[in-house]
Amino acid sequence: MNDVGELKEFTVVHARALQLPPELHQGVLDRVTNDEDGALGSWAVEWSAASATLAESGQLLPAFLCSAMARFPFVDGPARRAAYERLRSLFDRWRAQHPDIEPVRVKMPDGELVCWAGGLSATEPKPLLLVTGGIVSVKEQWAPVVLQAAQLGMAVVVTELPGVGENTVRYDWESWRMLPAVLDAVADRADVSRTYALANSFGGHLALRWAGRDGRLRGIVTSGAPVSDFFTDGAWQRRLPRVTRDTLARLTGVEPGDEAALRGMLTDWALTPQELSGLDIPVCYSASLRDEIVPSGDPEFLRRHVRRLSLNEFDDVHGAPGHVQQTVEWTFGSLLAMRGGALPS
């Protein structure tokens, strides 16, 4: 079982980013009293009930987003498994109303990942926006971004990290390889030579590792991405919220509770000064000054080693839940600016 207080705390930013009505979000949280699988008042049960009510009234978008919240942070039993299956079913019903959204399947040597895409065209290939979240984010919750493909003048592909949702790829130091594989999968229907990544949290870590190895990536926009100290500072890792430690253990295959093994594995994931100083693309990074997950040394590490860095800072906690609208505006403003070459050179 997860710590209910942590679940409530760390879903605020997701609920606001997904534009769930505050009264809906707070109403569910007020009813949640435990995280016992299938119990009355439990996390998955209450969020699933909200999803069912919305679906019955035909509100499919918030319904599947509530199911995404019900499976948060990862599937760990029958109730969250049922919530995840309901999410996929509701999403398919919603997607039927948006035929421009299509699946893209990418096979890797150690698994497969499924993406949702829009704006792909063999006759008029557009620059690509690759979107991925962090260790608790399923791709369906970001799928509405695909609907903005035409407005952005880009093809859009959203995916998820290894071990999350339908991504069966192993989560390890080499996981960045899934990102260029996504580009290869759509190279006949998008101009992947002009690819930009909107990759938050641990997705941003993968994108930064990938960036120096693939000239097709032209820029990165990220928020709250772990970079260096997060992976090497054992004292910091011991203070991480339990939900973060448990989720990382789940995705990487570390035995639950074996924090020494988790710390030992993560040490090698730190980005190096050489990797970052070799980047010749703009990197836009939004940091929270009171982040309880990503240490302050990580944005500072980027400041020292990334030549074309635009650093945005909020006096907030992880994910900047008090600045969601400002973060959205900054994110898409940064993307449009870097496409126009307006970021520092």
CA–CA distance, 62 with 55 (Å, rounded to integer) = 8
Give pLDDT, residue 345. Answer: 46
Peptide bond into 73 cis (omega under 30): yes
Give pLDDT, residue 344. Answer: 54
**pLDDT tens-digit readout, 267-277:** 999 999 999 99
Query: What are the tokens at 77?
Result: 């039993």
- Judge whether 286 and 314 are in contact, CB under 8 Å: yes
Number of CB atoms found within 10 A of residue 186's CB? 21
Percent of the chain with pLDDT over 70: 99
Hey, CA dihedral for 302, 303, 304, 307, is it positive or negative?
A: positive
CA–CA distance, 148 with 143 (Å, rounded to integer) = 10
How many CA atoms within 13 Å lie on the side-chain side of 168?
8
**pLDDT tens-digit readout, 203-237:** 999 999 999 999 999 999 999 999 999 999 999 99
9 contacts: CB under 8 Å, gap ≥ 6: 241
**pLDDT tens-digit readout, 228-262:** 999 999 999 989 999 999 999 999 999 888 888 99
Judged on CB neighbours under 10 Å (0-12, 13-18, 19+), 123 is exposed
Q: Which of 38-52, 179-193, 238-252, 320-334 has the lowest mean pLDDT?
A: 320-334
Average per-residue pLDDT for the chain: 93
Element (H, E) at 75: none
Percent of the chain with pLDDT over 90: 83
Give pLDDT, residue 14. Answer: 85
Q: Which of 127-136, 175-184, 320-329 has the lowest mean pLDDT?
A: 320-329
**pLDDT tens-digit readout, 114-153:** 999 999 999 999 999 999 999 999 999 988 889 988 889 9
